[in-house]
Each structure stands twice: as C-alpha cells, then as structure tokens.
Structure 1
Amino acid sequence: MNDGQLINLARQARNHGFSVVLNGFGENDGDTQKRIAGINAACCGQAGPEWRIHPQLFRKFQVAEVPAFVLSKGDSSAADTFSKVTGAMAIPDALGIFANKSKLQFIRMAANQKYHNAMPETEN
C-alpha cells in the first residue's frame, strides 16, 4: 500500500477505534517506526491509531493481500472465531460486509453495531 492509502486507513482506524496491524515494512524497526510517525503526522497529528507490527497475525488469519480487515473473537485462528474481508475499501464498507455476509452471528452483530456507530448522523 502506498502512503496515501495508509494515511487514509490510519485516519479511519483512529476515528473508528481500530488498530492498524502491519506485517512490517522497511529493512528494520527504525525504518518502520519512522514511516508510521510520518503517516500519523499526515493523518492525525499526534493522535494516530494504535499500530502493531505483528507478522504472526498475518499468518494466523491467513492474510495474503492487503488491505485486509479482520474481526475476531480472541486470538484463535479457528475458522469459527474470525471473519476477514480484503480489498481497497473504507472501514464502514468493510463493517457493512461483515454485518451482512459473515457466516458467524457474533461477527455480524458486532459489525452491525460498529457499522451504525461509524455512519454519520443524517438530518431529518
């Protein structure tokens, strides 16, 4: 993903209370931390989202392409504990897919609640 996409995703993650999980980028942790700081500064000033460098989660949830959105119950990788959506989209769009298409009822319910919280109020 390019920095523009990451800035947009970081802004959305911060606004909706989600973490951004990275498999990693750069040659070392210093490069990664500098890039995260730059993305946070561009999107959110000093109040960016939580970032986690966690390649094990990529393996656990079988993330082969990014962006990927995962909702899970705990840290288990059992098929009945998480749902995943991949592709370039906004977080509310991913939540809508989870809410309408996840095979797991607890994921549909959690996504539905988060989706309605993520949608702006409409004026009557």
Structure 2
Amino acid sequence: MSDEFVCRMCRVPLFTSVDLMEHEPHQHRIALRKKMKEGNINGVVECSSYFLSDTKEWMDENLLAEGKLHCPKQKCNARLGSFEWSGSQCSCGTWVTPSIQITKSRVDIKRPIQVKVVYVPTEAPATTASETS
C-alpha cells in the first residue's frame, strides 16, 4: 500500500508515494554561507521538498514550461510548489531535472491503517444444577 499526500489546507488528494522521484541527497555542494545561515556547519541538510516523477492530471497544462503549482480545488488554491523543466536544486544540494517540486510543509501524508481483526470467543454461561436435570 502506498501513502497518499493531501493538501494541508483542504485535504484534497494530490499524489501517492508511487509518484515520488528519489534523488541522492548531498550529491552537490551547498554554499558555506547557506550552511552558516541555517546554523548547520557540518553540512547535513534535510530535504524540504518532494519531487514527482511525472505531471499529474490536476496540474495546469499552461504552466508546463515553468510556474507555481497550486491546489486543484478552486476554493482552496493554496500554493504547493513549483515546476521547472530546466530543474531546480533541492535543499539537500542535489539538482533534480525536470523539477516538479512540492514543498513538504504544504502537504500532509495519509498513511493507510492496517487493522487486524481478531475474534475472541466469549465464555459460555455456566450451567446450574437445576438446568442440567
């Protein structure tokens, strides 16, 4: 089973973990100035975005060159991330091309719950001496 990612504002489903593009963190150097700004001199920076392997049906076809990605629900329209064919750099330093980038703080993960149903038999009522005769 795969995790489902939903808009943090309106909970509309956006994509699943199957749609995610894996990338190797720390493949490229991040400027020392950025590390110092974040107070992280040892260089370990966590990824702050998810990258999708392909466009989704809810994405605006007019923005296929580059642009901002917004929630498909008209009333919500929350900004979720960005799209660039030329690629973009993840916060961990790795360049991802093409870049369909969704900011982690803008989505929530809905994990499927696996429930195991167990039958526990109840004890039969005790019989009394008058019932057995």
TM-score bracket, normalised by the shorter chain, equals under 0.3
TM-score by length of 2: 0.22
**Greater helix percent: which structure?**
1
TM-score where L is the length of structure 1: 0.23
Give the greater-gyration-radius structure (CA).
2
Q: Which has the higher strand share?
A: 2
Structure with more contact order per residue of length (Cα contacts < 8 Å, sep ≥ 6): 2
